[in-house]
Chains A and B, each alone.
Chain A
Amino acid sequence: MLSRPLFRFVRDDRRINFMRGRHMGLIVSAVLSIASVILFFQPGLKLGLDFRGGIIVEAQTPGPADFGKLRAALDHAGIHPDAVQAFGSPRDVRISINAPEGADREAQTQKLVDGVKSAISAAEPGTQVLRADAVGASVSTELFRDGLLALGFSLAMILIYIWIRFEREFAISAVVTLVLDLTKTVGFLAITRFEFDLVMVAALLTILGYSTNDKVVVYDRIRENLRKYRTMPLRELLDLSINETLNRTLGTSMTVFLAALPLALFGGSTLTGFATVMLFGIVVGTSSSIFIAAPLLLLMGEKRLRKEAVAD
């Protein structure tokens, strides 16, 4: 039973002419990315607690939650929440409050969280606090800055590494492709209204790392073929390289997809958003390896790649 693989994504001798669709691929990708940039500004990302500051208290009431009663209790305590909503089961309540304004806002934020907790446990005795987070305004600004810094440095390291290991054309095409991938993922975040927080930054970076990994493998094969078939037209050579690595590209995407899928399904509130964005990123990253990264090389021009491959 173990002697042969039971299935393959594509037959080994299959030669799909990917380059024929290159203009289409680039246009579709550019349109999606531009749309994503527009979505980034309008309506914009929904910032999570980490980045906007404020309070979230999640609690479980003993019976089905009576929202009117809870709202009244909070109102009575002088607390005006921005949202009192259900999540998960009918017993679960989430109360969120934006960071207060004013000079004393740091202390206010911390006081509010205690106020919310005591108000709801007085209104519904036996209420269990599942989670109570309060992030001050100064901390959230720092967290946001650190998150973007991490993203920027990672992108820079990837660029430098590919530049050193490959030629300039490869590095530029890779980074252009990655930026296209990243913008689409940001657009996805804007549409789905998943909260953008620290964990999401980690998701973006993982997508970035994964997508790079995919491109490196295809580029590696292109570089090898450039040396092997010195007279083959570049267009044909790119098609050959993509086809040769196609089973690997799809196979690896499949395993990462399968690994992330359970997280999206059973990961709980913290990880569902993270894993869903990962799944989206895997699909985008895989398709861009095939339809964007190699066609960009073709645009860079055959002559330059050939010359460097020969000189190498």
Chain B
Amino acid sequence: MMYYSRLRLLGVAGICLIGVLLCLPNFLRSPAPSLPWRQIHLGLDLRGGSYLLLQLDLKSLEHDRLQSLQDQARQTLLDRSLGYRDFARDDATASLSFMPRSDAERDAALKAMQSLPPVVPNEFTTSEKDGRIVLTLQHEAMLARAREAVAQSIEIVRRRIDATGAIDPSIAREGDDRIVVELPGVSDPERIKSLLGTTARLTFRLLAPNPSVASPGSTMLEDESVHTQVAVQDHVDVDGTDLTNAGAVIDQQSGGWAVTFQLNSAGARAFANVTRANVGKRFAIVLDNKVIEAPNIINPITAGNGQITGGFNARSASDLALLLRAGALPAPLSVVEQRTIGPSLGAASIHAGIISLLTGLLLVIVFMVLFYGRFGLYADIALFANLILMVAILSLFQATLTLPGMAGMLLTLGMAVDANILINERIREEVKRGRGPLQALQAGFDRATGTIIDSNATAFLAHVMLFVFGTGPVRNFALTITIGIVTTLFTTLLLSRLLVVRWYALARPKELPV
């Protein structure tokens, strides 16, 4: 197949041209924001920034659900006037159990439990053990809940991070219960870490009748304003989900910082009812199981707005307001992996990467010309086109390029010439065997193609596996090599072959320069 149709010629030239055009946005500024200006993103290791891996606390999600299930179960038993005793909650086995009042009521109680509405399908099982009725949360269902909670959390995490003014953050789910946060340019992520590490569940609850000892239906919590333990009722009167706005202000009376909040109509009504019925009692403002303050209710508050004064400074008041505006997380998040690259190291890495890439390219180019003469030069042109096409495809997908990714590109370039070497060695052999130039070219290309495809297919498979099972830096490395194998097949099997064929058609040499 030594003849290239015009269509094929235009096709190859067209692809190369498109490649060049797709590369251009990486070196220019977008002339207008509306244009589809696609660039390669630089990874955090190159531009500097922070990477945080957050883990949703599945145990806490389970704990909360057990608690609400317990409330539901008690209410249902009460509604059906079924008695029970010794209602126990076991977080370790994620189960609830109780003893029915009498054997006669056991079946009715079991039915009542089975009628409880699950939040997700097959959320819990009901069974009997040693006369007790046991409700057990199912792990699979809890994972489904976790996935839901992660989706909600991502929204809230985004709102919180946006409020800090971080530029171009990326927030994505990983696995069932994790969130990856990437913050380019943030070299000190402590504030963001503490913002994300706060659940920010705000509740308003009355203190227990005797605030110094825990009684049934109340829990001892730390009062941060006076650093003592107080008993706060478990029943939540008003919840932070009813909040519509919050802001940091300077308190007119004390001159210190305070956080004001505004409730929606449902919240305002509930707030009014509680404060009207409990004038003179203490009302605790609880944030994540810590009492910020517990003031006396002096007058009923009916307008649905209020103010929290809990020894804030400017930073902590505005952070709390920010958290309240963004909403509470469905479960606590904790940081399990953190990587921060300072801006100077990122710049040094880009420098190192580019120097390596250019030096490597130069060495390979020189070697090929020395080793294969004219055909080596054609291989070098194909190599250059290969680099352009790799950058073009990465730009097209707006992929992220990291330092290992750059290493992948360089190795691809080293291996890409392998195909040219195979072809050239074949042609040389055919010439030695006494074939004419045309037959030698023909046989060389045809015979080498099978070998090239075999050797690239194994590398392709290995790196696809690496991409699928790898994490972090490995994935980016595998991605660039996988893309590189595809572009290598194009540039060697089509482009460099085309160059050789055109040269042959124009020069009609008596012997080949191999």
Residue B27, interface by CB 8 Å: no
Contact of B513 among A2, A129, A132, A257 (CB under 8 A): A2
In contact, B457 and A146 (Cβ under 8 angstroms): no
Which chain B residue has the least Cβ–Cβ distance from A252?
Answer: B418
In contact, A7 and B429 (Cβ under 8 angstroms): no
Q: Considering the chains assembled together, what is the distance between the CA atoms of A1 and B374 in angstroms?
A: 8
Residue B472, interface by CB 8 Å: yes
Q: Could you tell me the dominant secondary structure of chain B's interface residues? A: helix
In contact, A154 and B190 (Cβ under 8 angstroms): no
Binding site for B on A (CB under 8 A): 1-8, 12, 50, 58, 60, 106-107, 110, 113-114, 117, 128-136, 138-139, 143, 146-147, 149-150, 153-154, 157-158, 161-162, 165, 198-199, 201-202, 205-206, 208-210, 212-213, 216-217, 220, 244-245, 247-248, 251-252, 254-263, 265-268, 270-271, 274-275, 278
Q: How many A-B residue pairs have CB under 8 A?
A: 253
Interface string of B374-415 (1 = CB under 8 A from A): 101100000000000000000000000001100100110111
Interface string of B455-496 (1 = CB under 8 A from A): 111110111011011111110011001000000000000000
Contact of A129 among B187, B336, B361, B417 (CB under 8 A): B187
Note all chain B residues with C-beta closer than 8 A to A267.
Answer: 352-353, 356, 403, 407
Q: A252-B417, A270-B349 are in contact. Are A216 and B458 (CB under 8 A)?
A: yes
Q: Considering the chains assembled together, what is the distance between the CA atoms of A228 and B79 in angstroms?
A: 90
Note all chain A residues with C-beta closer than 8 A to B360.
Answer: 258-263
15 residue pairs A–B, Cβ–Cβ below 8 Å: A134-B339, A138-B336, A161-B458, A198-B473, A199-B477, A206-B481, A213-B455, A213-B456, A220-B450, A252-B417, A252-B418, A255-B414, A258-B364, A259-B410, A262-B363
Q: Considering the chains assembled together, what is the distance between the CA atoms of A114 and B338 in angstroms?
A: 11
Most buried by A among B370, B404, B432, B513: B404
Q: Considering the chains assembled together, what is the distance between the CA atoms of A58 and B414 in angstroms?
A: 32
Residue B443, interface by CB 8 Å: no
Contact of A262 among B348, B359, B471 (CB under 8 A): B359
Instruction: Rank and list the top 4 A-B pairs by shortest CB-CB distance, nearest first.
Output: A259-B414, A150-B469, A262-B359, A256-B414
Q: Considering the chains assembled together, what is the distance between the CA atoms of A60 and B348 in angstroms?
A: 13
Q: Which of B69-77, B82-90, B99-107, B420-428 contacts A (4 or more CB under 8 A)?
A: B420-428
CB distance from A155 to the nearest CB of B (A): 8
In contact, B340 and A129 (Cβ under 8 angstroms): yes
CB distance from A79 to the nearest CB of B (A): 16
Contact of A158 among B187, B190, B372, B458 (CB under 8 A): B458
Contact of B462 among A8, A107, A113, A158 (CB under 8 A): A158
Q: Considering the chains assembled together, what is the distance between the CA atoms of A280 and B471 in angstroms?
A: 24
Q: Considering the chains assembled together, what is the distance between the CA atoms of A106 and B337 in angstroms?
A: 9
CB distance from A67 to the nearest CB of B (A): 20
B interface, how many residues as a size bin?
A: 35 or more
CB distance from A118 to the nearest CB of B (A): 9
In contact, A107 and B334 (Cβ under 8 angstroms): yes
Residue B335, interface by CB 8 Å: yes
Q: Considering the chains assembled together, what is the distance between the CA atoms of A265 and B357 in angstroms?
A: 12
Note all chain A residues with C-beta closer than 8 A to B414.
Answer: 255-260
CB distance from B299 to the nearest CB of A (A): 42
CB distance from A196 to the nearest CB of B (A): 13
A-B contact sample (12 more), CB < 8 A, given A130-B342, A201-B474, A213-B458: A5-B514, A106-B55, A110-B334, A146-B469, A150-B465, A150-B469, A198-B474, A216-B454, A216-B458, A217-B455, A262-B357, A262-B359
Residue B226, interface by CB 8 Å: no
Note all chain B residues with C-beta closer than 8 A to A208.
Answer: 462
Note all chain A residues with C-beta closer than 8 A to B338.
Answer: 110, 113, 132-135
Q: Considering the chains assembled together, what is the distance between the CA atoms of A251 and B363 in angstroms?
A: 13
Most buried by A among B341, B474, B514: B474
Residue B141, interface by CB 8 Å: no
Contact of B352 among A113, A138, A266, A274 (CB under 8 A): A266
Most buried by B among A8, A12, A154: A154
In contact, A134 and B337 (Cβ under 8 angstroms): yes
Which chain A residue has the least Cβ–Cβ distance from B413?
Answer: A259
Q: Considering the chains assembled together, what is the distance between the CA atoms of A129 and B342 in angstroms?
A: 6
Interface string of B186-199 (1 = CB under 8 A from A): 01101001000000
